[in-house]
Amino acid sequence: MATEGTVRRGGVQPVELYRFEGTDVWQEGDENARIRGYFPLSPGTPNAGEVAGEEVTIVCLEIEPGNYLPTHRDSNEELLVVVDGTVEASVGEERVELSSGQCAIVPEMEPHGIRNVGDATARVIGFFPNDELTATFDETLMPFDSTVVTIGGRDE
- What are the pLDDT digits (tens) for 126-144? 999 988 889 999 999 998 8
Angstrom distance (rounded) from CA 99 to CA 4: 38
Q: Cα dihedral angle (100, 14, 18, 135), rounded to 10 degrees?
A: -80
Side by side, the strands of the sheet bearing 34-38 are: 23-26, 34-38, 57-63, 122-128, 78-84, 103-106
Of the candidates 145, 138, 144, 134, the one whose C-alpha atom is nearest the C-alpha of residue 59 is 134
Answer yes or no: are the C-beta atoms of 75 and 135 closer than 8 Å: yes
pLDDT the model gives residue 22: 73
The per-residue pLDDT for 1 is: 30
Mean pLDDT of the chain: 83
What is residue 131's predicted lDDT score, i.e. its pLDDT?
Answer: 81
Entry pTM? 0.81
What domains can be seen in the chain, in order of their start residue?
Answer: 23-139+146-152 (2.60.120.10)
Checking if the pLDDT of 90 tops 90, the result is yes
Q: Residue 29 carries which DSSP code?
A: T
The more confident residue out of 145 and 15 is 145
Sign of the CA dihedral with 148 first, then 66, 105, and 91 last: negative
- CA distance linking residue 22 with residue 39, whole number of Å: 8
pLDDT of 48 > 80? The answer is: no
Number of Cβ within a 10 Å radius of residue 16:
9
Residue 152 has pLDDT above 90, yes or no: no
Average pLDDT over residues 70-85: 97
Nearest to 93 by CA among 111, 66, 81: 111
